[in-house]
Structure formats: C-alpha cells, structure tokens
C-alpha cells in the first residue's frame, strides 16, 4: 500500500467551495485508488492579529482544523502570512506550522511520499519536510505558482531551489514544463500530468434545453461565456470589448474578484449593459449546465498552465476562443475545439463571430476532450509517486 501525504494550500473549504476544486478532484481520485492510503493536509494562511480579524480573513480563522471533506480526512493547520512581504516568509512559516502536526501524524501514518499539489509555498515547504522525514517529494506546477511566484523577486529563488531539490516534478502542460526548464529546473525530472474532467457532469445538452436555459438567463440570441476570477490576468475586459463589436451577442462572466469595479466601468463605457452581465461566483455544481448552455466560451488569459475551464467547455460541446497561453495548443488541436488568437479585442471578436457563423457539431467538440479524464489523471499520478518511492515490502 502506497501511503501518500497530499499537501495543498489550494483546496476548497466551507468558505471557498470553488477554490482549487481541480486539486480536490485529483486528491479524491488518488484516495480512491486500490493501492493508496492517503492523508490530506490543506494549510490555511492567515495574517497575524489584528489583520486576521478583517472581513477577508475572519471566515478562514473559523474553519475547523480537522474535518471529513467529501469522504477524506483533511487537516487544515494555520500558518502565518505577513502582509506586504511578497510571500518571502510563507514557506518557512508553513514548515513551522506543519512540523508538530506531521510529527504526530507519523506515529500512526508513516507516509512514503509527499505529494505537493501547488508549487508555492507548498512545494518549497514539502522539500524541507521531505528531508526531515526521509521521504521523496513530488511538486506539481499549475500556473500562477510558476508564472507569479517563480518570477517574483522575493520568491523566485525558493521556487527554483525547490524544483531542483524535489525528487519528481509534475507540470499541467508541455508549455508549463518548458517554463519550468527555462527557470532552471531539471527537465528529466518533469512529467506532464494533464488535468481531468468529469464527463458524467460536463456533457452537451440538446438544442431545446440550451434554448430553455438561455431564456432563464434572459438571453435570446448567441451566448458567449467567460469563467474565471475577476482579476486582470484573466482578460475579461478584452472579451467585453470583443462582444461590444458583435451586435446581438450576449456575454456572461462567471466569477468574482477585485477587478469587478473596472469591469463594470468597461461595460458602461461600451454601452453593453443590456447584454453583458457579471454573474458573480457560481456554485461548482451549477457550472456544467451554464457551460453547456453557451455557444462559445471565451477566455483572454495573459497566462495559464492548462485551464480546467477550457477542457470542461469542450466536454460540454462548447467551443473555446482563447489566447496562446500555457497549454492552449495542447487543447485546441482542431477547429472543432475552437480558435487560438492574439490577446486583443478585434481578434477575439473575429474568432467568436467565425465560430458562431459555422459552429462545430457538439459531439465533435466533446470528442476533443475525450482524452482528459480523472481516471487517466489518477493512473498517471499513482505511477509517478510509486516510481519515486520504489519497491515496497
């Protein structure tokens, strides 16, 4: 039996049910493997008093430190994050918080390997913990953990050092692997590990259902959907400008974040408030039907690893228009999947119009996502971790 300690600060909780759901799904898949015994640790970073009493952090301080989450036991230790330090001490604080917990855990659960599901601060801390307990460490790179923390002056050396010291590395796409190598990480230790999609939940709906769902949303014509946090990197403003060039086309943006006021201003400035709506945060359970209702999903991200939203859209039979970010070329492999275009409004408008004028068959789009499954994700992750541990008695 392979005993895995999964470590991820990117993991959902009662206050953030949509946070890191792809990490959750990967963890649940691995926990269900017949040859795996798994313990999940999902650290919660909070600043010291009085900052932790601010409304943004207060709900996190009230989370249970241990609970059963979707059938697995999850520890949620707190670690201290110091505001305005650009994360330079996050990993050290995480190690200090985890040592007492893991020392106690080792008495009943002598884990064979540490599986860090996000590079920073999780991966950096995992390397130190792996040395303490004498076990191999795997770190997975997903996107911002490399493109932000791996490039920021305060944390770059920590990220690169962890990448060089880890026994095994995972990347969500071939493009992400190339970015890791460019930072100085050893390419021979990096394995591309694609995300999965739940095809029982994400699947096409028929034309009648699509029309009915559109009417519930107040939409009568073509519908473009954008899903993601309302932050500048996601490029929602580019999609708003693009749809402003397409009379009669509606846009719904599902997500929440600090960029909301700027996006509201853009909607007003372009005079499209009657057909562009910020829907806010949408429960993960409601995402599949929303995605399947759209005629096109458009995401103008400045950077990505390999966005789950891309694959989920394709599984719903909804073609995508995206930038050449991260693993875009590994997902949009034919015109049935959509278009890859430059990150500007004119290019997005032209591509959206092209897809709407000649839409691919839903089953053809869905077929493109057929190779992305959680079963394949679990099998590859198990093989990777078992390979790091080697023969076991």
Task: Name 206's Cβ contacts closer than 8 Å, sequence gap at least 6.
Answer: none
Query: Considering only the top CATH level, what class is 207-371?
Result: alpha beta
pLDDT for 58 equals 83
Residues 47, 40: Cα–Cα separation, whole Å: 23
Output the pLDDT for position 52: 57
pLDDT for 69 equals 95
- Domain 2-196+373-389: CATH superfamily, name plus number: Glycogen Phosphorylase B; (3.40.50.2000)
Distance CA 197, CA 207 (A): 23
pLDDT at 202 > cutoff 60: yes
Residue 211: in which H helix or E strand, if any?
Answer: helix 207-216
- For 1-25, the pLDDT digits (tens) are 999 999 999 999 999 988 999 999 9
Residues 6+ apart with CB under 8 A from 28: 70, 71, 72
Q: What is the pLDDT of residues 55-87, one digit of tens each?
A: 678 888 899 999 999 999 999 999 999 888 999
Burial, 107: exposed, middle or buried (Cβ in 10 Å; 0-12, 13-18, 19+)?
exposed
Q: In the prediction, which pLDDT does 144 show?
A: 86
pLDDT of 130: 98
Q: Which residue has the tokens 């995605």?
A: 291
Which residue in 22, 9, 3 sits closest to 97, CA to CA? Answer: 9
Tokens of 215: 């009417």
**Spatial distance between the Cα atoms of 340 and 307, rounded to a whole number of angstroms:** 14
The average pLDDT across 223-238 equals 96
Which DSSP helix (H) or strand (E) runs through 5? strand 2-7
- Residue 280's pLDDT is 94
Positions of CATH 3.40.50.2000 in the chain: 2-196+373-389, 207-371
Q: To the nearest 5 percent, what fractions of the chain are helix, strand and coil?
A: 45, 20, 40
Mean pLDDT, residues 92-107:
97
pLDDT tens, residue by residue, 282-304: 988 899 999 999 999 999 999 99
Q: Do residues 59 and 13 lie in contact, with contact meaning Cβ atoms separated by under 8 Å? A: no
* pLDDT tens digits along 236-254: 999 999 999 999 999 999 9
The average confidence (pLDDT) of the chain is 95
Which pLDDT score, from 0 to 100, does residue 392 have? Answer: 55
Question: What pLDDT does residue 284 have?
Answer: 84
Predicted confidence (pLDDT) at residue 393 exceeds the cutoff of 50: no
Confidence of residue 125 (pLDDT cuts 50, 70, 90): very high
Model confidence at 217: pLDDT above 70: yes
In the chain, % of residues over pLDDT 70:
98
What would the pLDDT profile of 305-329 be if each residue is shown by its tens digit? 999 999 999 999 999 999 999 999 9
Predicted confidence band of residue 333 (pLDDT cuts 50, 70, 90): very high
Average pLDDT in the 340-346 region?
97
């Amino acid at each position: 039996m392979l005993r895995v300690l999964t470590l991820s600060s990117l993991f959902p909780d009662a206050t953030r049910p949509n946070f890191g759901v792809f990490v959750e799904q990967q963890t649940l898949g691995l926990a269900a493997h017949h040859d795996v015994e798994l313990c999940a640790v999902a650290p919660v970073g909070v600043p010291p008093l009085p900052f932790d009493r601010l409304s943004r952090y207060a709900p996190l301080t009230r989370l249970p430190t241990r609970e059963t989450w979707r059938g697995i036991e999850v520890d949620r230790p707190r670690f201290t994050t110091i505001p305005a330090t650009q994360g330079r001490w996050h990993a050290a604080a995480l190690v200090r918080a985890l040592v007492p917990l893991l020392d106690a855990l080792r008495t009943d659960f002598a884990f064979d390997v540490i599986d860090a599901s996000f590079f920073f601060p999780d991966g950096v801390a995992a390397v130190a913990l792996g040395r303490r307990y004498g076990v191999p460490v795997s770190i997975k790179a997903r996107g911002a953990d490399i493109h932000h923390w791996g490039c920021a002056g305060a944390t770059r050396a920590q990220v690169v050092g962890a990448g060089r010291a880890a026994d095994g590395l995972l990347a969500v796409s071939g493009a992400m692997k190339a970015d890791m190598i460019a930072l100085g990480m050893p390419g021979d230790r990096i394995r591309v590990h694609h995300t999965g999609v739940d095809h029982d939940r994400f699947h096409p709906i028929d034309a009648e259902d699509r029309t009915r769902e559109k009417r519930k949303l107040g939409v009568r014509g073509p519908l473009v959907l954008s899903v993601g946090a309302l932050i500048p990197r996601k490029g929602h403003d580019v999609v708003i400008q693009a749809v402003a060039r397409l009379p009669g086309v509606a846009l719904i943006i599902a997500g929440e974040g600090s960029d909301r006021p700027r996006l509201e201003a853009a909607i007003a400035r372009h005079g499209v408030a009657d057909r562009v709506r910020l829907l806010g945060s949408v429960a993960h359970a409601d995402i599949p039907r929303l995605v399947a209702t759209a005629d096109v999903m458009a995401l103008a991200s400045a950077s990505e690893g390999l966005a789950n939203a891309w694959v989920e859209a394709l599984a719903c039979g909804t073609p995508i228009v995206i930038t050449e970010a991260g693993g875009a070329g590994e997902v949009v492999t034919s015109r049935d999947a959509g278009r890859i275009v430059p990150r500007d409004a004119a290019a997005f408008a032209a591509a959206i119009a092209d897809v709407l004028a000649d839409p691919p068959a839903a089953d053809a789009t869905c077929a493109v996502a057929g190779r992305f499954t959680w079963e394949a994700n679990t099998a590859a992750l198990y093989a990777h971790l078992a390979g790091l541990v080697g023969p076991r008695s």
